[in-house]
């Protein structure tokens, strides 16, 4: 199905920064999202899983469709660079002579569990901070922007954080994650009230130790209620 | 681009019911969503506009992508029926011998402004209530279900109602729209508080007349703030 490709935006959270897993292309020196073409006997979801596994070594991610990118000119823009990267590597080269649409998927992963693995066309697989302005293939920069917009809207309707935070975390750590995704500061008391209202946190008996200040409480997600909120949307909105 | 089709779920609100605009197929007597294939020089958004215009007479709708349906078996399920419908009508018939994915779009329209117009393959274009259990082509029933789920989640992040309600409406009318989409009752005072908090309504000086009870206030959407909330998400959530 050479008309249909998939691109995956894989988010991780580290050092209070939101990062994206990107492949660094050997010849063009540009970054690219992990992506590939749909095979004839796959669903898009299966293809996305396969691509992420092949290109990054990650298995069984929760990947979510967010948008199809279909500008007829999108696959022409960087044709020379694509040709260079694909040169001598299977007949795949001709894929890029034709128009193809790309279905965007995104995923949130546990930064510490990932072993980035480059593929045939790339010399590195890097976590790149969203604050870094790197050069990117085709419309991949736009695809990342749309994924972030989707993530921001998702904060209003679904829980987030399970794969992005350690198992035990403080309320300020959770708030920092939200602030990083939203790109703005939030009111501390208002945030805490809303989060507790959603009823997806367990307050632990232990507190965080080692800080200079009064030790903050630790929380973890209540898996059963977290899962339910993922499916039904957050409670307490209506 | 015979691998890529588009199906449009067009919602209207009438008599306190959510309805979908469907084509009734001549030969199979099944209902179908207005749909068609992507042309080589179109974006998906342009194709969706064209298809809705051709098949229903509606122009310049706000159509929103919500999901791609890509089960490899989806276009095989009703092949016999499709062949009957397409028989003798252009070489289009072969489209259905191949696998194709479908990009779902949805739209909310002003029920009263629509003049449903059947196409070549259909004898009627009907508003069908979501409570009616009609027989449908391919996976179109599933596509409608996913569109409703998307609409429900959208209530949490974006304003809704502009095309679905008359220009002037009462708070109970607005609440009924939300309840219809959500499929459950909402608390009256809580609903009113939240809606006013979103700051997208203008309270009018006139009241609704003609009822037996005390005349309720009339509201209209503040277009500037409604538009802003469509783009930025509803305020007051975080």
Query: Residue B22 and residue A148: Cα distance in Å, rounded?
Result: 34
What DSSP character marks residue A196? H
Query: Residue B65 and residue B106: Cα distance in Å, rounded?
Result: 7
Instruction: Pick the closest to residue B161 from B181, B177, B180 (CA basis).
Output: B177
Task: Give pLDDT tens digits for A37-66.
Answer: 999 889 999 999 998 888 777 787 888 999
Let me know: does A224 contact A199? Beta carbons within 8 Å: no
Q: Looking at residues A186-196, what average pLDDT do you find?
A: 91
B238 vs A contacts (CB less than 8 Å):
155-156, 178, 182, 186, 190-191, 194
What is A16-80 written as a DSSP string? Answer: TEEEEEEEEETTT--EE-SEEEPPTT--HHHHHHHHHHHHH---S---EEEEEE--TTTTTTTHH
Let me know: does A222 contact A200? Beta carbons within 8 Å: yes
Higher pLDDT, A212 or A56: A56
Query: Residue A9 and residue B30: Cα distance in Å, rounded?
Result: 39
Q: Does A41 touch chain B (CB under 8 A)?
A: yes
Enumerate the H helices of chain A as residue ranges: 44-56, 79-86, 140-154, 171-182, 188-197, 223-232
How many residue pairs from chains A and B have C-beta atoms closer than 8 A?
A: 79
How much is the CA Rg of chain B, to the nearest whole Å? 20
Q: Does B131 touch chain A (CB under 8 A)?
A: no
Q: Quickly name the fold that domain B4-153 has.
A: Nucleoside Triphosphate Pyrophosphohydrolase (3.90.79)
Task: Give pLDDT tens digits for B21-68.
Answer: 999 999 888 999 999 999 988 999 999 999 888 877 778 788 899 999
Task: Give pLDDT tens digits for A101-152.
Answer: 899 999 888 777 777 888 788 899 999 998 899 999 888 999 999 999 888 8
Of B68, B72, B155, the CB nearest to A68: B68
Domain ranges for chain A, please list them.
Answer: 4-153, 161-232
- Looking at the structure, give the CATH architecture of the domain made up of residues B161-232: Orthogonal Bundle (1.10)
pTM attached to this predicted model? 0.80
How far is the first Cα of chain A from the last one, in angstroms, to the nearest whole number?
Answer: 43
Positions in chain B short of pLDDT 50: 88-95, 238
State residue B61's pLDDT score: 80
The CB-side HSE value for A153 (13 A sphere, CA atoms) comes to: 20
Q: Does A189 touch chain B (CB under 8 A)?
A: no
A38:B237 CB<8 A: no
């Amino acid at each position: 199905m050479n008309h249909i490709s998939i691109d995956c935006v894989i988010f991780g959270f580290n050092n209070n920064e939101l990062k994206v897993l990107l492949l660094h292309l050997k010849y063009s020196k540009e970054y690219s999202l992990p992506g590939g073409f749909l095979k004839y006997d796959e669903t898009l979801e299966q293809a996305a899983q396969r691509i992420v596994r092949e290109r990054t070594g990650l298995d069984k991610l929760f990947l979510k469709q967010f948008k199809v990118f279909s500008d007829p000119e999108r696959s022409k823009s960087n044709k020379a660079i694509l040709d260079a990267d694909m040169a001598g590597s299977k007949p795949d080269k001709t894929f890029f002579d034709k128009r193809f649409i790309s279905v965007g998927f995104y995923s949130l992963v546990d930064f510490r569990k990932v072993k980035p693995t480059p593929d045939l066309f790339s010399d590195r697989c890097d976590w790149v901070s969203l604050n870094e302005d790197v050069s990117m293939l085709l419309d991949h920069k736009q695809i990342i922007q749309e994924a972030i917009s989707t993530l921001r809207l998702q904060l209003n309707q679904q829980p987030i954080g399970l794969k992005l935070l350690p198992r035990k975390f403080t309320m300020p750590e959770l708030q920092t994650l939200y602030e990083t995704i939203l790109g703005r500061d939030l009111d501390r008391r208002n945030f805490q009230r809303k989060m507790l209202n959603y009823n997806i946190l367990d307050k632990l008996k232990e507190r965080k130790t080692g800080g200079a200040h009064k030790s903050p409480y630790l929380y973890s997600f209540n898996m059963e209620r977290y899962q339910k909120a993922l499916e039904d949307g957050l409670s307490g909105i209506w």
